[in-house]
Amino acid sequence: MSTARGPDTEAMPSDSEWSRESRLVAGARPQEAGQPLNTPIVPASNFLAGGEFGYARDHGTPSWVALERLMADLEGGHALSFGSGMAAVAAVFDQLSVGAHIVWPEDCYQGVAGIIAAGETNGRWTSHRVATADTEAWIHAAGTADLIWLESPSNPLLRIADLEAIGDADRSADSIMAVDNTLATPLNQRPLELGADISVTSATKYIGGHSDLLCGVTVTADRALHERISRSRLLNGATPGNLEAFLACRGARTLALRLGAGQHNAGVLAERLHTHGSVELVRYPGLVSHPQHELARRQLQGMGTIISFDVVGGAAAAERLLGHLRLIAHATSFGAVESTIERRASIPGQEHLPEGLLRLSVGIEKVDDLWGDLDAALSSI
């Protein structure tokens, strides 16, 4: 059985002297005269023999490969696209042998927690959790880990892991260090340069950026590991749709603009929330009050668009606030053009979080309109 072809980083039509912002716009485009500026949707499962593509599940399609080449260039490795972020995550865990040991953070995406819990119930692996910011504990645990799973910044507590220090820790030659880079995006953080073996991104979020697709991407530093993950994708049928891959690639073209606008807005809102009488605590790496602000400044090129804050009055007050918002949408997920907010402790599996914690994904609306909506809703509680 053949494996998916995967992009060849060296063959990508990009210029290394260009900024990543420019490569987002120009990268992975057709180069032949008369071709469209962007690879179009190719709704095909099968291709005539003798060319670059064959059966789509085995060899991919032009729509997938354009996205993979773009992400490989941004992250500096070998990229594979998947039908969702969780499909990409599952492919990483699929690399573990029976009896493997996983080290993972206390603040972590609930889907990852579900995969780990299911594997432990089935006797496939063991695990233990480490506080995201406890660098010494991560370094100590690295020596016995088959998989070091990191999420930085974390969701929704926005804790920062010292990826470079953990990446430099002594560990076995066949262990894997994987980083969920969804919140940071490849523009704010490049995990492979900090010692990770795999960077995982839910392209559903910032890469697509318009709340209209499901897609995931892995980028690996090592070609052999890339081929193993590729085989997992093939055997599990975890391939992306052609429309979704096209939309993710199109969305990525404006990532720098969207992320820049959202980060500007988030910085303004975080400062204003920090001094509001109805807010108990604001978590945002860009605030000097964030306990890992200095690490965030060293490790990240931008502070992101996510703010989490606790309102005075707990769950009841938070729910009242949600009911009074007009511009900011009460919805799950994050990383899109529109601002969204939700009370995370109301989500199954997130009950351990503070009851009054609200996760705000800041979009590209005018910041004064966003603040007017928030301030009025805060006044209502």
Is residue 205 flagged as an active site residue? Answer: yes
Within 13 Å of residue 5, how many CA atoms lie on the same side as its CB?
A: 18
Q: Which long-range contacts (CB under 8 A, 24 or more apart) does 282-290 make?
A: 282/307, 282/308, 282/309, 283/156, 283/157, 283/158, 283/307, 283/308, 283/309, 284/158, 284/308, 285/153, 285/158, 285/160, 290/158
Which of 205, 258, 343, 344 is labelled catalytic? 205
Question: Looking at this protein, which amino acid is placed at residue 344?
Answer: R
Active site residue 233: no
State how far Cα 2 lies from the chain centre: 29
Burial class (CB in 10 A: 0-12, 13-18, 19+), 10: exposed
- Catalytic residue, candidates 69, 109, 171, 283: 109
180 part of the active site = yes
Catalytic residue, candidates 57, 124, 272, 320: 57
Name which of 243, 241, 148, 250 is nearest 200 in CA terms: 148
Catalytic residue among 73, 107, 146, 180: 180
Catalytic residue check, 57: yes
Residue 316 CB neighbour total at 10 angstroms: 12
Q: Are strands 125-130 and 100-105 parallel, antiparallel or unpaired?
A: parallel
- Active site positions, annotated: 57, 109, 180, 205
